[in-house]
Structure 1
């Protein structure tokens, strides 16, 4: 079961997903809301915090989660303060009950990861792509439009066209033909 803990929050935050199962994890910590209370409304404990990337809106609640649950934080770059362990490109990680392939997808930020579970047909896209063909900003530090386009193309080459669900860093999750939204993002990024 995947729940967006940030749903309905009216603050500067990313989406924050609770992925329940054999290895219950939170994907992205979010920012400026009581994420610990939100987690405890669903589960008594979690096994890890996994980051798509380390922009402030995705890690602002990192300390609150680690203090409350005593969990390790996993992300692409353990040089970033608060990230305990690295997830390498093409490494497989368990989120909930599914195995996800980590895809290093820079362009929005150098340490950006997407997580794709081919068997479950689920993608955590972070801030690489969004619903309706949106894509991550490239005007921030470490942003690079041409690199982002390469990352979106890699995503298209990796995920199956019958992808069932795409959970994004901002906005709604996509459960109706999310592959098409990735195609739209690839086109829109080239046009911008």
Structure 2
């Protein structure tokens, strides 16, 4: 089933949180939007889903986990994450297979923006978190995660982007990033691979992503 962006109506800064109904109804990230649990409940009803089976965290920056307590309290899902967290039930490792809705996704460890960052790579969809997005305040057609804050590394992020490209099936047709818009190859001039390649080339220039970085 098509992922639903349950934080689409947020009035404050948040990540994109995606509800994907299916055999394993999954929320990818929890966001910071107050009342996101109500949005999830509405999306579950619309999808005809019995409940929320799991939450998969791409990483644990506050904008991705702030509302995790509320989600867990209301729906009691299993929580899958790379790094330790009080709510974590399953520790993710590079190369694991995780069912997101009805789609089997490979966990690809993609640090650089965050030490615990993972991306979820399916045959049709990529959930890229913050390692790569289509549009943000820096670029509108392929951008890389920021690396100007403490604990971040541009060099490690570049390695992650290259690894992601190596493990990306050519059939992937949509990218669901942590920020900005969803990119679908059917709606644009590029394949998902080409968007990531462009972001990688920009990161490899080692220039600041933002002028004041």
Both proteins in one fold, TM over 0.5: yes
1:129 aligns with 2:132: yes
Q: Deviations over 1:136-156 (max 9, x none)?
A: 111223210000000000111
Indicate which of 161, 176, 193 corresponds to 1:179. 193
2:47 aligned partner:
none
Distance 1:182 1:8 in 2: 27
SS of 2:37's equivalent in the other structure is helix
Q: Displacement, 1:33?
A: 2.6
Indicate which of 80, 83, 88 corresponds to 1:74. 80
Distance 1:109 1:81 in 2: 18
SS of 2:43's equivalent in the other structure is coil
1:169 aligns with 2:174: no
Count the aligned residue pairs: 189
Equivalences for 1:42-61 in 2 at 5 Å? Answer: 42-43=43-44, 44-61=50-67
1:83 aligned partner:
88
Query: Which segment is superposed worse, 134-143 or 64-73?
Result: 134-143
TM-score (norm 2): 0.85
Native 8 Å contact 1:114 1:123 kept in 2: yes
Distance 1:28 1:93 in 2: 14
Q: Displacement, 1:70?
A: 1.2
SS of 1:42's equivalent in the other structure is helix
Distance 1:149 1:165 in 2: 21
2:210 aligned partner:
none
Native 8 Å contact 1:11 1:33 kept in 2: no
- Segments of 5+ residues of structure 2 without an aligned counterpart are 45-49, 135-140, 186-190, 208-213
Q: Deviations over 1:40-90 (max 9, x none)?
A: 112151001110000000000000000001122111012x33323211100
Q: Deviations over 1:132-185 (max 9, x none)?
A: 111111122321000000000011111123420000000101102221110111
Distance 1:42 1:146 in 2: 39
RMSD: 1.2
4+ runs deviating over 6 angstroms: none
2:137 aligned partner:
none
TM-score (norm 1): 0.94
1:65 aligns with 2:71: yes
1:15 aligns with 2:16: yes
